[in-house]
Amino acid sequence: MKLCMIGTGYVGLVSGVCFSDLGNDVICVDKNIEKINLLKKGIIPIYEPGLSELAVKNYKNKRLTFSSDLKSAIKKCDIIFICVGTPTKKNGASADLTQVFNVAKEISSSINKFKIIITKSTVPVTTGDEIEKIISKKNNKKKFSVVSNPEFLREGEAIRDFTFPDRIVIGTDDKRSNKILRNLYSPLISKGAQYLSTSRRAAELIKYASNAFLATKITFINEVANLCEKTGINVEDISIGMGLDKRIGSRFLRAGPAYGGSCFPKDTKAIISTADKYKTNLSVIKSVVKSNENRSNILLKRVFGILKKKVKNKKITFLGVTFKANTDDMRDSSSLIMIPELSKKGAIIKYFDPTGYKKEFKKIKNVSYESSIKKCIEGSDLVIIHTEWNDFKSVNFKNLVKGKKPIIYDMRNIYSKTKINAQGFKYFSIGR
Ligand code: UGA
């Protein structure tokens, strides 16, 4: 099948590359010509393990092409995926749909034969209806169908999530489109993915409700972790004990810093905003947002406690600053709150991240990047393990630290307290 992905951000690029690997002809389109030129040279602008190899392979065998000519790409393709950004509106909480609607207008003037137009971008309920209205201004409704097909890819795990999804959600009432899309996804369905056919609006809401629910699960266990710290309980026992109940499930019950990234913070706010529009109170999700926004304060208080409130001139190391491992993404990472706050209090901060220097800290006083774990830890009073990169999972602190032994605050519960204590280090973690 001939597919066009509009937008070569995270969703569009990963999906486009993976669809081409399944044997489809894919054109990835972006109005950013510089980006397209880099992609043509095999330079992938995002950090995603395995993506570059897969893109180069399919580009070489000509199943994957890159272009900035949207009109021509639309004309050549049968299925058009809208994969542009839907950021939070400036001065608001709802999703900014400008890019989605602009693309819809462009599509409307290039329809030459029947097209399936799919929103993969995360869009609020009824966006599909709006897109349909825009396109039908210039086209007969028989010449196109607007479908919702949300993505459930995690950064850092995106290729595996694309290849082995739990479910494929297709929101449309159009039987013809449904049949074509079931066929498109048949290689994944035959490997065990559930194909769920729903109304378009339901598909749109499934995406938001899923992200909001996962955010709730994390926030729930983070709050339980606070209680565990006061009662001498190991939160990991709680996660295992709860997770063994199949109705609950064990995943996304890892306590840690505030959840971040480009999705949970944005999507929880957007679903609340949609509900407000329909005069519905999503009180649980509102509490989740509030609790998560306060999470970094709670962890900072713990840091102050560990340092006995003497933060000024203390040397603090951050191992990992991205919002999670296997990504270079800094969006809504809790380090963006904690590092500036500690700097304000007079701490001298060094950080190391496997994805390198971060411009986000450029203007923050007394914050510097180190190119290795060893250099970063040297002379430190407190080492904070902020992100769960594999690189940090078997650090031999005893061998690495020659002089003064820093305190270790493991915000991802990577290490065991007994083992670290046995090496002569003071050790703190989350909920245990
Ligand atoms: C999330 C969803 O997991 C994907 O299904 C969805 O497609 C994607 O958003 C999206 O809407 O595009 P992502 O933001 O890449 O994916 O990352 P997650 O792995 O979900 O992690 C989000 C945050 O939750 C991170 O800060 C992570 O550290 C935190 N987290 C996750 C925990 O604190 N505990 C956990 O047990 C799991």
DSSP states of 142-206: GGEEEEE----PPTTSHHHHHHS-SEEEEE-S-HHHHHHHHHHTHHHHTTTPEEEEE-HHHHHHH
Q: Residue 403: what pLDDT?
A: 87
Asked whether the predicted pLDDT for residue 90 surpasses 90, the reply is no
Probe target for ligand 1 pocket from 264, 329, 330, with the most ligand atoms within 8 Å of CB:
264
For the chain, the average pLDDT equals: 97
Q: Are residue 215 and residue 309 in the same domain, yes or no?
A: yes
Asked whether the predicted pLDDT for residue 93 surpasses 90, the reply is no
Q: Are residue 218 and residue 182 in the same domain, yes or no?
A: no
Looking at the chain, the whole-number percentage of residues with pLDDT higher than 90 is 98
Q: Which atom of ligand 1 is nearest to the CA of 122?
A: 11
Q: Are residue 17 and residue 152 in the same domain, yes or no?
A: yes
**Confidence grade of residue 242 (pLDDT, cut at 50, 70, 90):** very high
Q: Are residue 285 and residue 207 in the same domain, yes or no?
A: yes
Domain boundary among 175, 198, 221: 198
Query: Strand, helix or coil at 82?
Result: strand
Q: Which atom of ligand 1 is nearest to the CA of 256?
A: 33
Q: Are residue 342 and residue 306 in the same domain, yes or no?
A: yes
Q: Which of 18, 77, 83, 263 is catalytic?
A: 263
Q: Are residue 182 and residue 225 in the same domain, yes or no?
A: no
CATH number at residue 414: 3.40.50.720
212 CA distance to ligand 1 centroid (A)?
Answer: 10
The 10s digit of each residue's pLDDT in 140-151 is 999 999 999 999
Domain boundary among 169, 198, 227: 198
Q: Residue 208: what pLDDT?
A: 97
Q: Are residue 180 and residue 303 in the same domain, yes or no?
A: no
Q: Residue 188: what pLDDT?
A: 98
148 CA distance to ligand 1 centroid (A)?
Answer: 21
Asked whether the predicted pLDDT for residue 92 surpasses 90, the reply is no
The 10s digit of each residue's pLDDT in 331-386 is 999 999 999 999 999 999 999 999 999 999 999 999 999 999 999 999 999 999 99
13 CA distance to ligand 1 centroid (A)?
Answer: 19
Provide Rg for the chain, Cα atoms. Answer: 24
Looking at the chain, the whole-number percentage of residues with pLDDT higher than 70 is 100
Asked whether the predicted pLDDT for residue 202 surpasses 90, the reply is yes
Q: Are residue 337 and residue 391 in the same domain, yes or no?
A: yes
Q: Are residue 53 and residue 129 in the same domain, yes or no?
A: yes
The 10s digit of each residue's pLDDT in 377-391 is 999 999 999 999 999
Residue 113 domain boundaries: 2-198
Q: 160 Cβ partners below 8 Å, 6+ apart? A: none
Q: Are residue 179 and residue 237 in the same domain, yes or no?
A: no
Q: Are residue 322 and residue 260 in the same domain, yes or no?
A: yes
263 is a catalytic site residue: yes
Task: Return the amino acid letter for 244.
Answer: L
Q: Residue 91: what pLDDT?
A: 83
> How far is residue 184's CA from residue 143's CA, in Å, rounded to a whole number?
20
Total number of domains constituting the chain: 2
Between CA 94 and CA 99, with CA 97 as vertex, the angle to 5 degrees is: 145
Domain boundary among 162, 178, 198: 198
pTM, full prediction: 0.96
Sign of CA dihedral 301, 304, 306, 309: negative
Q: Are residue 211 and residue 143 in the same domain, yes or no?
A: no
Strand partners, 92: none
Minimum CA distance residue for ligand 1 atom 25: 259
Average pLDDT over residues 100-124: 96
> How far is residue 272's CA from residue 259's CA, in Å, rounded to a whole number?
17
